[in-house]
Structure 1
Amino acid sequence: MTVADVSLDRLVDWLTRFRALVTENQGYLTELDSAIGDADHGSNMARGMNAVIDKLGEPQTVDALFKTVGMTLVSSVGGASGPLYGTFFLRIGTTAGAVDSLDGATLSAGLRAGFEGVISRGKAEPGDKTMVDAMGPALDALDASLGSGSDPAAAAAAAFEAAQRGRDATEPLVARKGRASYLGERSAGHLDPGATSTAFLFQALAEALA
């Protein structure tokens, strides 16, 4: 493992930081969701990530770690968030395999596979006002940064900045997927809760790798 590799401890730290962010911002996420959804995104994400951290134990490999994360989220989070985030983490683990660290390329490949799983499961496209609108730009920025020679820490910081821009860009959009789509034009003028929690996901990654 080189200095630039992302260790299992760093990956666990990512998840722990994500749990802290969604717990700290549970009320905010619920407030966003109350405007255009079921008013449960904050509570669902906090409950799911608390269950994840409770179950982690001492993972020995990346695939085992993310299998635990994914299965826990699928089983403990209601609504769309559990299956979508669960699929995201499961695909990361499957792609990474039984290794104990990730370099920039394998981190990118895992995240990209997770993103493709989210798209496949949720059937959302860019511009639909979903978590895809934050995750897609984040991964594009991550890949661009890695492609220019940056280490995973710098690439994760670039991904977080792009995730924030993607999140903010959902505010004027009219939702075309999920519960928010039922509101039609009235869904415009609100940040998407899933895109907002996705920005927290990349904030946590950037902080864990910094």
Structure 2
Amino acid sequence: MSSFKTQALLRRVAATAGPERSFWKAVGALAQEPRPNWGLDLHAGRQPLATDAFVYLVNTSNLWVASAAMSPAQLVAVKNEVEGGDSHKLRALAAVAMASASQAARAKEGSMASPESLQAFAAGLRAIAAAPGFIATAEQSPELDNHHWILLLYRLVDGEVLAGFGYGDDPIPGMLDRETLIEFVGNMVEMDLEPGALVGETAAAHGGATLADVLVTRPS
């Protein structure tokens, strides 16, 4: 393992609740890099040694997941396309599209390449690219390599939906495995639903959010 990867790995796991477990888990992943891409491959014309950006759409009520790998430059192009747009409106449109895609998948046992899922990706990418967190990260790290962009769908008790945004900078190439992704999602949900957080305040005003059991019963 190169010294660069070792340092990146240590930075990644140092702040976790179980740094030793996280360290050895990451070392194991490095031994078989790159990790497999289990989602859609949207990185057209990928060249040897090219880097990817990874996008995950997750329904927090039932853990429906759609994921994709793409060129970081593609995400930057979407950012330029939506520059100046209403990020709240784009996120609301993405939430509706994700809800439709997850419902269609349950009913039809559909794939990530279903028309509904592709529409959700189209709306989700625009919402991600317009998010202040994405814009700030793109300015600080223009390469955006091995970044993981996550859009969460929250189903509220009264039937409304909204989306939350988060990301991770992972030093290990490849898509997050599902277990690690759900850990990321659990941490994001905790932060989103904290008192005073925008998602939390909105959810509370609508009677709360319906969450998958694994997100409700996460160990402290």
> TM > 0.5 between the two?
no
Higher share in strand: 2
Higher share in helix: 1
Q: Computing the radius of gyration over CA atoms, which structure comes out larger, 1 or 2?
A: 2
TM-score, with normalisation over the residues of structure 1?
A: 0.30
